[in-house]
Amino acid sequence: MHASPDTSRSRFAFVRFAALLAAFLLLAACAHAPRNPLATWVPSPNYDIRRPVLIVLHFTQQQSAAQSLDTLRTRNSGGPVSAHYLIGRDGHIYQLVPDSLRAWQAGPGRWGTITDLNSASIGIELDSDGQTPFAQPQIDSLLRLLADLTTRLHIPPTQIIGHEDLAPDRKDDPGPLFPWQQLADAGYGRWPHGPLCDPPPGFDPWMAMAVVGYALDDRAAAARSFHHHFRGMQGDTLDTQDLRILYNLVQQIEPGANTCAAPSPQAPAG
């Protein structure tokens, strides 16, 4: 049986479309995985994409999500910056950079042993002027996004920090108004658990700050960021309550640490 002219044309069109699609996919693969012309390409299946291990929270310190989207997508006067996500005050989530790529959001800084924060983290900007409480729809969306990212990218839920935590000498976001305890109640970030107790004699609060993750190049700045995060207040010197909080956090990170005997107030309030 001979194919009709219409059938032949349809078959030719399909083959041509398949060939074009294959060429497109090949070009796309090459664009995402460029090969060095100096080397012979001998592909191995033993590789993976780079995976973030940390999530960094920011506030935009601008007046609207639209303004921030423009800032994060253009070469603004302060230099090009970006983030993986922006969450508006109404809770709308915008994505600007794929999770697997490196957004320009953290800049110089350190958290524990991590020094290249842009390569190791996901950046989330919150539309906020930094002077008023964060809107609840925004925090609700943040919690949904954190649930997605920590599950899908296998980021430990404790690895949620603020921009000021990694760069206390130059940043102050998300600031003392950010509801870290609400995140902790949902299972994200580090937070004191159970009764706060007086640490044993010889307890070094600065060593504890380093164990938590803070760099100690500028101890006053580190104390300010710690106060914003864990006490929602200002101040650049550590007091007795700070030592109790730090001892509690170190016990979570290093379970072999000694437990304390004398209970103190539970809440890490100022």
Domains recognised in the chain with CATH numbers: 54-185 (3.40.80.10), 196-262 (no CATH)
The pLDDT, as a whole number, for residue 22 is: 47
Which of 54, 120, 125, 128 is an active site residue?
Answer: 125
Is residue 172 within 8 Å of residue 71, measured between CB atoms? Answer: no
Q: Pairing state of beta strands 196-197 and 93-95?
A: unpaired
Residue 189: burial class (beta carbons within 10 Å; 0-12, 13-18, 19+): buried
The pLDDT, as a whole number, for residue 260 is: 61
Is residue 172 within 8 Å of residue 221, measured between CB atoms? Answer: no
Minimal CA–CA distance to 128: which of 139, 114, 119? Answer: 139
Integer Cα distance of 238 and 205 in angstroms: 8
The pLDDT, as a whole number, for residue 1 is: 41
pTM of the predicted model, to two decimals?
0.82
The pLDDT, as a whole number, for residue 2 is: 44
The pLDDT, as a whole number, for residue 32 is: 52
Q: Is 125 a catalytic residue?
A: yes
The pLDDT, as a whole number, for residue 268 is: 53
The pLDDT, as a whole number, for residue 110 is: 97
pLDDT in tens, the chain (270 residues): 444 545 445 554 554 555 554 444 444 444 456 788 988 888 888 878 888 999 999 999 999 999 999 999 987 767 789 999 999 999 999 999 999 999 999 999 999 999 999 999 999 999 999 899 999 999 999 999 999 999 999 999 999 999 999 999 999 999 999 999 999 999 999 999 989 999 999 999 999 999 999 999 999 999 999 999 999 999 999 999 999 999 999 999 987 655 665 555 454 544
Integer Cα distance of 38 and 70 in angstroms: 40
The pLDDT, as a whole number, for residue 30 is: 42
The pLDDT, as a whole number, for residue 254 is: 87
